[in-house]
Structure 1
Amino acid sequence: MADLKDYGLLFLIFLTSIFLLRTMLYRNGRTHRLPPSPLRLPIIGHLHLFGPIPHQTFHKLSTIYGPLIHIYIGSVPCVIASSAEVAKEFLKTHELSFSSRPQSAAVHYITYGSADFSFAPYGPYWKFMKKLCMSELLGGQTLKQLEHVRREEIHWFLHSLLVKSNKGEGLVDLHTELIRLANNVISRMIMSRRCSESENDAEEMRELIEEIAELTGKFNLSDYIWFCRNLDLQGFRKRFEEAHAKYDRMIEIIIREHEEVRKSRKDEMAGSDVSGQEVKDILHILLDISEDDDAEMRLTRENIKAFILDMFAAGTDTSAITVEWALAELINNQHILEKAREEIDKAVGKNRLVEESDIPNLPYLQAIVKETLRLHPTGPIIVRESTEDCAIGDYHIPAKTRLFVNLWAIGRDPKHWENPLEFNPDRFIGSGLSKVDMRGQHYHFMPFGSGRRGCPGTTLALQVVQTALAAVIQCFELKIGDGTNMKVDMTEGAGLTLPRAHPLICTPVPRLDPLHLVK
């Protein structure tokens, strides 16, 4: 009996030794090559470390473990890049390995799966759509032809602020007004409709896009916990399917209306010598491409619907929130606001409204937008996924690893930015930083991403943001509370697009009459 106990003890020691040996060999052979990592818990990985605002959580971890960290979100392996140097390794040196984006249940159900451009794998379809964006859909000629839309919507926005001010309504929710402006711009450019209260279908579309943005930003257990992938514990799948069905029904009606207009125009032009040169909205351009037999690739109806959804999702919150952050910073820094206003008065005057063509003559205004995007990037985290194994420095990054590049942290890195938490547009004037652009060529400042997957709508976004901001500065004084040196709360809220925790609510006091300037 004693012998059995001895053998049992020896066997237990043997098993323990084998386990420890395998663990040591595994660590020496592979794990030590992964970037540093905090303590990982079973099943949930590092989710216990997460706060409500991911980019702030990632930044705190980087101050402890360094600019490159390896974590698990549930069962999904991830790496976090929090410095310009590490970001450059991923986005330039190994760009091809990280040119795809991870698929989520929300993307699969809502945005037509593989028909979607924004989350399409890096391949022939994505390359085709990117080329179309840069040459036709969001190219210079299309943006120029639709400039009148942006100009008119900014006029409507200013008119709305003036009416509220003249009625003595007092406090105005600028967040809501800016969201309406951005939605109207995108809606009219895409399908010649405004997202305003007077048009129920357009307003319904605006509300639906907000719901979709909220759903895609929700943390879904099915995306991260392996044994939950076929379950719908949070009830999201039903909401995804309902949102998709609602969007599909609405956009199908709009596409059919466009098709009817196109047919009637063709009938009118049949036998006529007149070559139609009418200004086309983006949906008409997409339909042209889908009917082009000589096109490199034929667009399906699902491709068109998904692209329109991409434009709404990417072009509304982001532009509005950037202007809102900029105005909040200017209210808190009156000397900067006065300097910007003097520049506008000198370059534009007080007898006409600032326009897109004036922006090149307003370098300080451009610097304000740059500084706003440095501190408050509307896409604070770039998300990619590796398609193959690669080495970053001394570390091994396996395929199917999710990459998070923390633009928010990079924009506040004291290694590249003097007094990084200070709002100081002058840093972009008359120094080496004056040559820093916003299109991803400088890895310590890339608010629109970098490389192949950089935002194709950068030019449009800057046109809307810079012109709208300049118009508000030119036409209104914005008063907070009783107007006696009160400061705007700059707390960030939770969300994918870096919203403010509290909307910017203030009293617009007319400085110049925008209605008179419009004339």
Structure 2
Amino acid sequence: MEFRLLDYVSCVIVALMAIAAGVLLHRYTLPQRRRRVSLPPPPPGPAGNPLLGNLLYVIGPLRHNPHRGLAKLAGTFGPVLSLRLGLTRTLVVVSSSAVAHEALVKKDAALAARLVPDNVRALSYGATSMVFLPSSDRLWKRLRVVIGAGFSSSRGLDAIRPILERRARRLAERLRSPPSCSGGGGRPPVVNIRDAVNATVLNVIANVLFSEDVAVADDLKSLVVPVLEEWSKPSVCDACPLLAPLEHLLGSRRRISTHLAKLYKFFDQGIIERRLAAASRSEDHDDLLDVLLSKHSMSKLTRQEITTFLTDMFIAASDTSTVTVQWAMARLLRHPEKMEKVKAELATQLGSQDFVTESDLNKLPYLHAVVKETLRLHPAMPLIPREVVAEDGVSLGGFHMPKGTGVVVNLWTIGRDKAAWPDRPEEFIPERFLLADDGGGGHQKKQQDFFRPFGAGRRVCPGTDYTMRSVPLLLASLLHKIQWMLPDGLKPEDMDLADRYGTVLNLATPLHAVPVII
């Protein structure tokens, strides 16, 4: 009797699952002629499996370099295309500067939420992370105020200035120091550009947040990298929620939880506990951690929310600045004539001055043009994810977007859009950012509309002002009074500039170069 009852229950469950699948299948295969005539049509896209949609394509060809794969699809289906992931998720990809402006600026409120992939839900990270919280959330607004005060306001940027200048100077001194040029039989050493810059950036962020150095002593990098590697992998749960229990038991969420727990412990039991002990001795550091703990004392932030905020800052702020400097160096080494123009500008404006300061940056327009051109071709975050939250959906580019539709803006493709950049868009030409204005602000307006490496709208990167100060200063510090050579007789035209997309757009082959003191 018990066996029959269990058998009957199993049959009922299977039948209910079949009915649910049928309803979803019917929904996604409904003929166009039966749709509501008042709604615009859905975007075009590649045909897919009735049950899996385009999932196999997404976890296959699109897995490693989705920005390039989506660009190819846009060439076939147009600048607004749709992909179906399983039965429950539709993803719309925008590859047009005009539609991107529509999505990120004109209809910002309707697309103000971030897509939350399954693998960031480990240890409830996505529930307290400013990166993934909806912009309507009170915690998101509270944290944006904190980060704005520290990284966007005039007062915050003025406080960062001496820290950034000190660290940039130490980076230059380390590259010029005699010991670095005496190893290997008197030959200058080969420098891993990413590692050198990342150690500097990590310590800048650490000093702004909690007035400590961390890059070497605590090896924070070894804690951050495993989390980033796991987050960069796609999860089948995003398309097939029914597989979530198995994935969480054996898959990436379990591994992420292990790595994330170590990072949380570093911040909570290390940094925060030491600061609380210092507070008991009435020590005042006047940094962002003091601001966060002040809000904690007023019950406006929990310890976990502070820990997640610190994690956000190290993962987002350090990696984006690092890869931008690395890409700029790679492009300049690939184009020696551009490198000489930057160095000539530095020599003319700084003269005998040994080190670059932030006040010097206003005199270096070509350096800024190099940074902008680097961001155009290699945006640190090439894909900007959003989610339609408007109750009745919205239209983008003349196509209907139901509520819950994921929208991805492909900045990598837009940076190469001939309509936006008609002069050889695939080539590295910093001079395009030095073009004279037409008198009516037309050229500047076009750049403002097309050049969006940090996103736009209410979810624009809150560290934009900091990045546009730190990247030029670090790049200038690498170039001033240092001549760079490629190792092992490598010629500029033979450099490998292939990219690899993880959580940021990185060089597939790490950049190595040899510093020679001028």
Q: Do both share a fold (TM > 0.5)?
A: yes
Cα drift, residue 173 of structure 1? 1.4
Q: Does 1:71 align with 2:78?
A: no
Question: Cα–Cα, structure 1 residues 289 and 142, in superposed 2: closer, same or farther, change >3 Å?
Answer: farther
Partner of 1:158: 172
Q: Which moved more, 1:255-264 or 1:155-164?
A: 155-164
2:371 corresponds to 1:356: no
Q: In 1, are the aligned partners of 2:394 and 2:402 still within 8 Å (CA)?
A: yes
Larger CA deviation: 459-468 vs 112-121: 112-121
Residue 471 of structure 2: aligned partner: 465
Counterpart check, 1:90 vs 2:103? yes
Distance 2:362 2:449 in 1: 24
Alignment of 1:230-249 (within 5 A): 230-232=245-247, 235-249=251-265
| 5+ residue gaps, structure 2 | 1-25
Pick one of 425, 431, 436 that aligns with 1:426.
Answer: 431
Which moves more between the two structures, 75-84 or 125-134? Answer: 125-134
Q: Is the 8 A contact 1:440 1:454 kept in 2?
A: no
Provide the C-alpha distance between the structure 2 equivalents of 1:481 and 1:71, rounded to a whole number of angstroms.
43
Distance 1:41 1:31 in 2: 25
* 2:91 counterpart of 1:57: no
Residues 354 and 229 of structure 1, relative CA distance in 2, 3 Å threshold: same
Closer/same/farther in 2, CA of residues 83 and 140 from structure 1, 3 Å limit: same
CA distance, structure 2, for counterparts of residue 386 and residue 394 of structure 1: 15
Residue aligning to 1:104 = 117
1:410 — aligned with what? 414
In structure 2, the partner of 1:250 is 266
Over residues 280-300 of structure 1, what are the superposed CA-to-partner deviations in whole Å (9 max), with x where a residue is unaligned?
A: 22212211233347xxxx122
Q: Secondary structure at the match of 2:500?
A: coil
| Contact 2:387-2:404 within 8 A present in 1 as well | yes
Question: What is the percent sequence identity of the aligned residues?
Answer: 30
Post-superposition offset of 1:42: 3.6
TM-superposed CA distance for 1:261, in Å, is: 1.1
Give 2:171's aligned amino acid.
F
Distance change (3 Å), C-alpha of 1:89 and 1:351: closer
Paired amino acid for 2:452: M
Structure 1, 178-187 or 424-433: larger mean CA deviation = 424-433
Task: Kindly provide the amino acid, as one letter, of the partner of residue 404 in structure 2.
Answer: K
Q: 1:179 maps to what in 2? A: 198
- 2:128 is aligned to 115
Distance 1:409 1:279, change over 3 A: same
Q: Which residue of 2 aligns with 1:210?
A: 225
Partner of 1:373: 375
* Bigger mean CA deviation after superposition, 454-463 or 238-247: 238-247
1:451 to 445, 453, 457: 457
1:107 and 1:183 map into 2 onto residues whose CA distance is 22
- Cα drift, residue 24 of structure 1: 5.8
Shift of 1:194: 1.9
Q: Deviations over 1:202-243 (max 9, x none)?
A: 21x221111111121111111222321333175212112212
SS in 2 for 1:100: coil
- Distance across 2 between alignment mates of 1:194 and 1:257: 14
Say whether the 8 Å CA contact 2:104–2:455 is kept in structure 1.
no
Residues 117 and 303 of structure 1 are in contact (CA less than 8 Å); yes or no, is this contact kept in structure 2?
Answer: no
Of 467, 486, 492, 2:499 maps to 492
CA RMSD of aligned residues (A): 2.6
Paired with 1:505 and 1:445, the residues of 2 have a C-alpha distance of 29
> How do residues 194-343 of structure 1 correspond to structure 2 at under 5 angstroms?
194-197=213-216, 199=217, 202-203=218-219, 205-232=220-247, 235-253=251-269, 254-265=271-282, 280-292=286-298, 298-343=300-345
Residues 81 and 403 in structure 1, CA contact (< 8 A), matched pair in contact too: yes
Structure 1 partner of 2:211: 192
SS state at 1:72 partner: strand
Question: Quick one: distance in 2 between partners of 1:348 and 1:145?
Answer: 24
Q: TM-score, structure 1 length as denominator? A: 0.85
What is the DSSP-based 3-state SS (H/G/I as helix, E as strand, rest coil) of the residue aligned with 2:110?
A: helix
Contact 1:477/1:510 (8 A) holds in 2: yes
Question: Is residue 112–residue 302 contact of structure 1 (8 Å, CA) maintained in 2?
Answer: no
What CA distance in whole angstroms lies between the structure 1 residues aligned with 2:443 and 2:288?
A: 27
The code of the aligned residue for 1:39 comes to A
**Compared with structure 1, are the counterparts of its residues 231 and 32 closer, same or farther at alpha carbon in structure 2 (3 Å cutoff)?**
farther
Cα shift readout 1:79-103 (whole Å, capped 9, x = no counterpart): 0000111111211221111000122
- Determine if the alignment matches structure 1 residue 41 to structure 2 residue 41: no
| CA distance 1:176–1:256, shift in 2 (3 Å) | same
1:74–1:182 CA distance, 2 compared to 1 (3 A): farther
* 123-132 or 471-480, which deviates more: 123-132
Alignment match of 1:507 (pick from 497, 511, 514): 514
User: Measured at CA, do residues 137 and 325 of structure 1 come closer, stay the same or move farther in structure 2, by a change above 3 Å?
Assistant: closer
Q: Is the 1:111–1:244 contact (alpha carbons within 8 Å) kept by the matching residues of 2? A: no
Provide, for residues 477-507 of structure 1, a one-character-per-residue CA deviation record: whole Å limited to 9, x for no partner.
1111345743321111231311001011111
Write the deviation string for residues 357-384 of structure 1: whole angstroms up to 9, x where unpaired.
1111111110000000000000101111
Partner secondary structure for residue 246 of structure 2: coil
CA distance in 1, matches of 2:160, 2:30: 64
1:44–1:182 distance in 2 versus 1, CA, 3 Å = farther
Alpha-carbon distance in structure 1 between the residues aligned to 2:202 and 2:100: 32
Per the TM alignment, residue 244 of structure 1 is displaced from its structure 2 partner at its CA by 2.6
Q: Tell me the TM-score normalized by structure 2.
A: 0.85
